[in-house]
Structure formats: C-alpha cells, structure tokens
Structure 1
Amino acid sequence: MGDKAFRGVGAAGVCSPAKTLAFQWIGWFGARRALVWQAKIAGFLSTFCRRENTLLTASCQELSVMLGHQSREGRMRDEGFADFDFLIGEWSITNECLNERLAGCTEWHSFPATARVEKVMDGCGNLDQMFVPARGFTGMTLRLYNPETTFWSIYWSDTKSHRLFPPTVGKFENGRGEFYGDDVEGGKPVRVRFLWTADKSPRWEQAFSTDGGESWEVNWVMKFEKSSG
C-alpha cells in the first residue's frame, strides 16, 4: 500500500513527519498480516478442494460401477432373453421339405432328425445342434438376443454347405416369432422368412420370396416333440 492511502491532515493541513512515519508502519504491518492470512486461506482451500475432488472422483467412480452393474442386471432381466426357453432340451423332429424350391413344385418329402438345444453365453443366446443321419449331415443354429433392439439374430450352418448363412432377424409377439433376412437360392436373390410357434410341440417354418415379400413359398417345416430318452 502507498503512503497516499495513509496520509493524514493536521489542523494546519500538513502532516507531521512522526505521524506520517506511524501511518507507514501501520500500513506495512497490515499488508504483511493480510498476506499471511491470504496464504493460509489459499492453502486451506487448496487442501480442501483436493480432498473434496478426490472424494467426488471416488464417488463418481463408485456410482458409475454401480449403474453399470445395474444396467447389466437390467439387460439380463429383459424378458426377451427367455423367448426361446420353450426350445431348450432334446427333441425328435419330423422334417417336411418341398422337393424343388421356386419351381412351382407341390410335392413334399419327409425325414427324421434329432436336436439338442442349450443356452450359451450366460443366457444371452442359445445353440441348436441338429443331427440328420438319414440325410448324412449335421446342422447348427446360433441364436443371439440384443436387449437394446429386442431383436434376435438367427444364424444357420451345416456340414453340406460349410458356410454360415446370413442371419434372419426378428422377435416374438404373442407366442409367434417372425424373422426375416436375405439370401441367394439357385442364383436368385431371395427374401427369407422364419416362423416359430412357441408351444409344447414347437413348429418352425421356412419360406422364400422372390418379389420382396409380396408372396411366399414355404419350403421347409419342422415339427418338434420332446425326446422320451
């Protein structure tokens, strides 16, 4: 602080040297005390803020972990994960197939098969293995549920094609599942439809469309019965 701030005026309008010196000493000590207290307050605030920031950061991390855990639990509680529970287990299957696809054929043939279906990935999906010794091949279906979209994606492969087919995607409503996808059959692009009926004796149906879904030709039906063994 400059001496202008402590300049006193006597009766004659002029400060005496003693008074001026006294005011200067008071101003100097006051400034020193203010600086000391300012430093103390700054140190306290710095320590307090660091401690509070650490506590806040830890609390935010704990909250994030808790919310993430609850979010995962919420997804696992999604009822959609149980859509295919009716199919878990071992089955005897009657397959009915159209003799020729997309050729106007009306003749069918049938053959037996067995299947074993189990949940995988902590219940996030299921794996279906179908054994068809009468036709010399094995088939596999992987079904995965997405709780964010509430849709299932169904992937098929078999030991005849040795490839993973494009998925059909869809969901269940009132015990009926509809799943759609795209593929190629006999060199022609086709729209694919799977229909599932959830019941004690489940039924699956496959159909193809060459006109974008305006009309459908059913070419494969599976009828499931629980294996007695």
Structure 2
Amino acid sequence: MIASLGLAALWFAATLALLQLAAGAMSVRQPGHPLTTLVRPLAVVQGALVSIAFAALVWVFCVTDLSVLLVAKNSHSAKPFLYKFAGAWGNHEGSMLLWVMVMGLSGGFLALVEKRLPERTMLATLTSQAFVSLGFYAFLLLSSNPFTRIDPVPADGMGLNPLLQDPGLAFHPPTLYFGYVGLSVAFSFAVGALLTREVGPAFARAMRPWVLGAWIFLTVGITAGSYWAYYELGWGGWW
C-alpha cells in the first residue's frame, strides 16, 4: 500500500513538473498570462509530492517490505535499523529518488521564499527548474523505478552492499546531494536571467544565498565522504 502511494505521488509530481514547465513558458512569453499565478503553487506542491514519494521509499525499507524489488535486493530483516533507513538511498534507484526530491524541494522552497527577483525572471527560473526536474522524473519512472514490485515475495532480502554498511551512509549522501543538486537552483537562476535579460544587483543578491548554501552542504558532504573513504580503506594505520 505504501509503495503504491509512493509511486502514485511520484507520477503526480512528474505531471506537475510538466504543467509547471508549460505554465512557466507561457508566462515568460506572455506576461500577464492567466497561468502565471499557477507556477509558484505548482512548484510547491510538486516538492511536497516528491517528498512523500521519498518518505514512502524510506518507510518500505524501514519495515523491510520485501514485496518491493529494491528492498529485496538491498535490505534484510536482520539488518540494524540504521542500515535499513540509510539503505533507502544506498542503491541506484533510491539515490536517484533522493536526487529528484532535493530538486523538487529546492524548487518549492524557491517559489515560497524568493521575493526579490522581478517576477518574470522568477517565473523563468522556476520554468528552468521544472525542465531539468522533468528529465530526471522521466529517467526515474521509465528506467529506474524504485517501487517496482516482485512476485512471489522472497522469504528475506539479499542485504545491503557490505561496503555501504557504515554510519557514514546515513549522512554523507544526503549532504552531498543537497550540495550538488542545490546548485541546480543557481543554474536555473542563470537560465532565467538569460531568458529575460534582467541581470543586476537584485539578481546577484537573490542568487547569493542559494549558491553559498549549496557550497556549504557540498563541503560538508565531501569532507564526510573523505573521512569515510579514509576510514574504510584503513589508511589511518599508515601513520
């Protein structure tokens, strides 16, 4: 049931990304278009829906729902809870869903809080973010569906990759993704400004906190990953 809910939320989020792209494109081409007022709400709801999809994936991993193929391949009923929880993104499909969730949350948060940009540039920015997100939605749903079911249900799972069974898995990928994917907002800002040709001090002030925030997360993620790799490889014994 939860897996089906997650898949439905993911499809709805992808649909809203498509609607956001269409509404945003029309609004940029025709200022004052009736669909202009829908762009921000679509971005917010899309972010909420993809977050629900990711929460559903985490849930099926935490309860070891072996009817989900991804859980059967990457978890085990006897695993410590930390590795069940973090195992949700310790695989290709789950990490891609985490990637898409960060994009959706970034776009939704941008739509909620950013008031300094000229509205047309803001709409162009959200349109660009929807365009990028849509490509990842298509890849995830058509090629790497994290909610694919398996029948018959196996007696137990295959377990998490031994190389990933480390507490670092719980914090390294999320912080790294918030940094890498958070920079998609900076890219969308740049595309939005190129489309509207409205570049000035207000644009720089609006863009700066998003770039700095992404760099902070990226620095934390790379630092955590470096320590994890150092520890796993046993280089500490050389000193």
Q: TM-score range by the shorter chain?
A: under 0.3
Higher helix content, 1 or 2: 2
Q: TM-score, normalising length from structure 1?
A: 0.22
The structure where strand makes up a greater share of residues is: 1
Which one has the largest radius of gyration? Answer: 1
